[in-house]
Amino acid sequence: MLGYTREEMLGKEPLEFVATQDHKLCDFQASLINDISSRIYEIVYKRKDGQLLPTLTNSTTMYDQDGGMKTFAFMTDITNQKKTEDDLRRRQDDIEELNNSLESRIKEEVEKNREKEQMMYQQSRLASMGEMIGNIAHQWRQPLNIMALVMQDLYISDQLGNLTSKKVEESYEKSNNLLQYMSQTIDDFRNFFKQGDEDLDFSIKEALDSVYSLVQTNLAYNHIECKIDVQHDNIVKGGLNEFKQVLINIINNAQEAIQSNQSKNKKINVKITQKKNDALITISDDGGGIRQDVIDKIFDPYFTTKNQTQGTGLGLYMSKQIIENSMCGSLSAKNTDTGAMFSIVLPIKKVK
């Protein structure tokens, strides 16, 4: 085992072949029967060629009746076992290092995804803001026209000498009501983009009513009828303005589908009901539906069937993220006989 001849070994002490005095006691057994004691050590010997030889050495000492002592040693080569242990140790170290590296990389990727998600959300908000500005224009167009007619009427009455204090008072009251309406419109749109409502209990119907007040003028301008059917109103929890944005995204998509397909009926139906312990909101239209080859992609980020100058492809993606990740619900879409239907399912906080 050590590479020496018999003659080279005779007369030498076993310790002369030991490479290190750092012996590991692996086991200890003592027996008073026949005065035998036994110990097992892990000892590293040095071979004649300089190589190290790890062994398990069983040293057994016996005492005879005359007090004489004899020691027997049995050496087992554990080189392969030590190599296996070293390999396992290295692999464990590699695995531990990999785990630490993976944990760090996962945290880094999660942070990148969070930043990307936030950026996409901001892009979606900006796109919604652009659509809201269009709605403001429609909301203001009619009162501005009426204001112009009131001023024209006052001017003509004054030129004809028919201007009375009563007419001035009526015109003032009408103008003041129009200005208050326009001011309220600004407040409604400002509240829509206000932050800080990430965790609120709110009524689905009240949220829908607020959204409808923002889009009704634009829908009417395009001769689209929006029918709202509230069978069960419930309280849900989440970001109120984010939920409003989801409703506006879906209603705007329905409006654009109706216009692009030149639907005859031009109808959007919104229904609020209850399904077991969940609130169910469905928004359907008669705009011809979603093409079968793209219906599975409509919730993908940056996917849009519109011209790139008309859509970002983030509206439905962010809507799904808001409903499913922020509000623990689900958002799905399917085709009906006349168009598309989007279904929103949300857990009920409490029954209203």
Both tokens of 321, joined, read: 């993220």
- The distance of Cα 41 from the centroid of its chain, to the nearest Å, equals 57
Phi, psi of 332 (to 5 degrees): -140, 165
- Residue 91, number of CB atoms within 10 A of its CB: 11
pLDDT by residue for the chain (352 residues), tens only, comes to: 899 999 998 988 888 888 876 666 665 554 444 556 677 888 888 999 999 999 888 878 777 777 778 888 888 999 888 888 888 888 988 888 888 788 788 888 888 777 777 776 666 666 666 666 666 666 677 678 778 888 888 888 888 888 888 888 888 888 887 788 778 767 766 665 555 556 789 999 999 998 888 788 778 878 899 999 999 999 999 988 889 888 988 998 899 889 888 777 899 999 999 988 899 999 999 998 998 888 888 888 777 766 544 555 677 888 888 899 889 999 999 999 999 999 999 999 876 6
* CATH class for the region spanning 195-351: alpha beta
Assigned fold of 82-194: Helix Hairpins (1.10.287)
Q: What is the pLDDT of residues 23-51, one digit of tens each?
A: 666 655 544 445 566 778 888 889 999 99
Residue 245: other Cβ atoms inside 10 A: 23
Domain spans of the chain, in order of start: 6-77, 82-194, 195-351
Task: Encode 266-304: b = buried (16+ Cβ within 10 Å), e = exposed.
Answer: bbbbbbbeeeeebbbbbbbbbbbbbeeeeeeebbebeeb
CA 18 to chain centre: 62
